[in-house]
Amino acid sequence: MRILAIETSCDETAIAVVEGKGGIKKPSFEILSSLIFSQIPFHKEYGGVVPNIAKREHIKSLPLLLEKTAKKIDLASIDQIAVTVGPGLEPALWSGIEFARELSKKMKKPLFGANHLKGHLYSFLLDNPEKKKIFPAIGLIVSGGHTILLYMKSLTEYKKIGETRDDAAGESFDKAARLLVFPYPGGPEIEKAAKKGNPEAIAFPRPMINQKNYDFSFAGLKTALLYNIAGQKADWDKFNKGKAIKPENADDLAASFQSAVIDCLTGKTMRAAKDFSARSVILSGGVAANKALRGTFRKKTSAAKINFFAPQQKYNTDNAAMIATASYIEIMSGKKRRISANGNLGIH
């Protein structure tokens, strides 16, 4: 099944064409095209994503991306169209949905409503791993809006065992970056600075790490960073006036903050892997692009003699190839979803 997928849930406009084969038992994927237009330059000056700018830019970029795709692939060979319906920013989601609806009508091809979180979750399949080594698995999705831990018996049978009680991991990176006066998006900037800093310089808390559950909390960690910066400068006045203060030890703060987030994420995930006798850990979402996080997972899973799966670097952050992959799995398992934007769509 050749799927053309459209992704517009946040600040990346993406169109991909992926060939899925093998059905639910032995799925395999070939990426025929994967194009992404990043909107970062348009949101940078606001320090975060502005929903109406995102919508405007998606509307502008989608026809251009389709035109580029059509230069590589005969669109008549497409069997199915898929579009992200949630979760995400609703104005942004609608721009993709409306474009997909028109395309589906024009091309006379069926349209599937895809779940963005499932796109992340299944993105490791783009590398066609050997399926017998995967399940049971613990899946960790770490993105800008979500931090979710899943116990997976198979690709389609899973249950949520934990999630964040406040900020998502990516959101905490973005907020920390703002405090350290790094540009948006914060995750990659923290990672860059952390390489130059000492992760043991500041002993930040590891919230909830010893609690016997699989939940996370990152809001307190961000507050600890704020207190540390303010304490150093003893300049609450400036903070209260909303003035940004770039601390001199920003690299150490970034490294120590990143290390705390990594300890929380890997600590809880590895505990779940042990408790559920998992054969593997599957990591996904924008934060999974963080090399220090991947490196720690690689070390810990190897010490625990279990497998580790994460998509190639470029498929961690938002893209449409993962949306095609998730759509294939869901279509093959008989799933149906309304073609209507749902900003808060969960992992089901």
Half-sphere exposure at residue 105, Cβ-oriented, CA atoms within 13 angstroms: 5
Q: Does 318 bind ligand KG4 (CB under 6 A)?
A: yes
Q: Which of 174, 251, 252, 330 forms a contact with ligand KG4 (CB under 6 A)? A: 174
Q: State yes or no: cis peptide before 87, omega within 30 of 0.
A: yes
Q: Does 343 bind ligand KG4 (CB under 6 A)?
A: no
Q: Which of 20, 187, 207, 247 forms a contact with ligand KG4 (CB under 6 A)? A: 187
Q: Which stretch binds ligand KG4 (CB under 6 A): 99-107, 121-129, 165-173, 322-330?
A: 165-173
Distances (CA, A) of 275 to 150, 162, 163, 283, 326: 13, 13, 17, 18, 27
Quick one: 199 or 286, whose CB is closer to ligand KG4? 286
Give 290-295 contacts, CB < 8 A, sequence gap 24+. Answer: 290/187, 290/191, 290/258, 290/262, 291/191, 292/191, 292/194, 292/258, 292/259, 292/262, 293/142, 293/261, 293/262, 293/265, 293/266
Q: Which of 153, 139, 208, 187 is nearest to 347 (CA)?
A: 139
The option from Zn ion, ligand KG4, none interacting with 214 (CB < 5 to 8 A, set by class) reads none
Q: Does 143 bind Zn ion (CB under 5 A)?
A: yes
Q: Does 317 bind ligand KG4 (CB under 6 A)?
A: yes
CB 134 within 8 A of CB 280: yes
Q: Does 318 bind Zn ion (CB under 5 A)?
A: yes
Q: Does 255 bind ligand KG4 (CB under 6 A)?
A: no
Single-letter amino acid, residue 94:
W
- Residues 10-49 contacting ligand KG4, CB under 6 A: 10
Least distance from C-beta 23 to Zn ion, angstroms?
26
The option from Zn ion, ligand KG4, none interacting with 113 (CB < 5 to 8 A, set by class) reads none
What is the contact surface with Zn ion in residues (CB under 5 A)? Answer: 143, 318
What is the contact surface with ligand KG4 in residues (CB under 6 A)? Answer: 10, 143-145, 170-171, 173-174, 185-188, 191, 285-287, 289-290, 317-318
